[in-house]
Structure 1
Amino acid sequence: MTSPCDPEHASPGDVGAALMMIDSRLKAVYDGRTETDPEQRALIDQLAGSMDADGVRDLLDGACTLIYMFMTWLRTAHEAQDKDVIEYVVPNLVASMRAMPRSIDPETIPTMAGMVIAAGIGLSPNLWRRQYGDWTRAEMNPLEATAFLLAEHINRITGDRDFATRLIAKALSTANQD
C-alpha cells in the first residue's frame, strides 16, 4: 500500500531556482558575509517578483525536493555507518534553527523538523506539509533555512563546500538526459 505522501505523487517543483537560492546563501556564508551579495539578492528578488502563484508554489516544491534529496543522501551516508539519520541530523537542525530567533519563529521549527523527518523516512516533504494547509508567510524563511542547513551539513561532513550543490546539479543533469 502506498502513502499519499510517497514522492512519486509529488511535483518536483522548480529545483533549479531553489538550488540557486541555497547556493547563493552558502557562498555568502562561506565568504564570511552575513548578507547575500547585493547583485545576487537583486537577481533572487527579480526571480521572486516575476513569479505568479504557480511559480511561487513551484519554488516551494523545489525547496522541498531539495530537502528530500539532501535527506536521501544523508540517510544513505548514515546507514553506511550503521547510524540513524533522524537521530543524528534532526537534533542538529533543530538546535541550529533555535539559534536563529530573528529569522525563524520558534513555532515554525516543529513543522520544519516534521518535513525533515518525513524526508528522512522516504516521504515527500511537500506532500507531508500540504496536508496541513497552505504555506504561511512565517514558514518561508524557515523553509529556506532548512534546505540551507541540510546543504551546509552535507558540505561539512564531506569536507567540500560545493558538494551539496554538485550533488543536486548532477542529479538534475542526469534527469534531463533521461
Structure 2
Amino acid sequence: MPSPCDPAFAPIGDVSTALLLIDSRLKTVHSGRTEFDPQQKELIEHYTASMGPDEVQDVLDGACTLIFMYMKWLRLAHEDAGKDVIEYVVPTLVATMRQMPRSIPTETIPTMVGLVVAAGTGLSPSLWRAQYGDWTKAEMTPLEATVFLVAEHINRITDDQDFATRLITDALSRAEAGEGLDDEDEDDDSVGA
C-alpha cells in the first residue's frame, strides 16, 4: 500500500519561482555581500506581494519539490559512497540552523529537519508537512533557509557554486523539451514533493 506521503501524489508547485528565490540568496552569499542587491530585493518583494494565496501555496510546494530533488541527488551520491544521507546531511543541517536563531527560530527546526528527512527517505516533504496543518508565517523564512542550506551543501560537495541551480534548471529544461530522461531523473521531474 503506498504511503499517503508518496511523491506521486504531491503537487510539484512553482519550482521556477522557488529556484529563483534560492538562487538569488546563493548568489548574494557567494558575492560576499551581506544583503541583497537593493533592486533585486525590491523586485522580489514586489513580485511576492502580488501573489495570491494559491500562488503562495505553489511556491511553497515548489520549495518542497526542490528539497525533494536535492535530497534525492544527495541520497544517490551518498549511497554511491556507501554512506547514509540522513547520517551525513541532517547533523550538519541542524548545527547550521541552530547558529541562525534570527532566521530560524528554534521551534521551527524540527519541522525543517522533518522536511529534509522525509525527502531523504523518499517521501514528499510537502505531503509530510500537510499532515500538521497549514504552513505558518513563522515557517516561511526557515523553509527558504532550509532549501538554501541543502542547495549550498550540494554546491560544497561538488565544489561548484552553481551546481544545485544547474541541477534543477537542467531537469526542468529536459522536462519541458520532453526529452528522454533516465529513470532517476524521470522520477524527479514527473512527480511533486
RMSD: 0.6
**1:136 Cα shift?**
0.4
Counting aligned pairs with the same residue, the percent is 69
1:56-81 CA deviation, whole Å, 9 max, x = no partner? 00000000000000000000000000
**1:47 Cα shift?**
1.5
**1:153 Cα shift?**
0.5
Matches of 2:173 and 2:97 in 1, distance apart?
A: 31
In the alignment, residue 39 of structure 1 is paired with which amino acid? Q
**1:37 Cα shift?**
1.1
TM (norm. structure 2) is: 0.91
Unaligned runs of 5+ in 1: none
Indicate the structure whose relative CO is greater, using CA pairs within 8 Å and at least 6 residues apart. Answer: 2
Runs of 4+ in 1 over 2 A off after TM superposition: none
Matches of 2:85 and 2:112 in 1, distance apart?
A: 15
SS in 2 for 1:134: coil
In the other structure, the counterpart of 2:16 is: 16
In the other structure, the counterpart of 2:189 is: none
1:4-23 CA deviation, whole Å, 9 max, x = no partner? 11111011100000000000
**1:39 Cα shift?**
1.4
TM (norm. structure 1) is: 0.99
In the other structure, the counterpart of 1:82 is: 82
How many residues are treated as equivalent by the alignment? 178
In the other structure, the counterpart of 1:44 is: 44
The answer on 1:113 being equivalent to 2:100 is no
SS in 1 for 2:42: helix
Matches of 2:154 and 2:12 in 1, distance apart?
A: 21
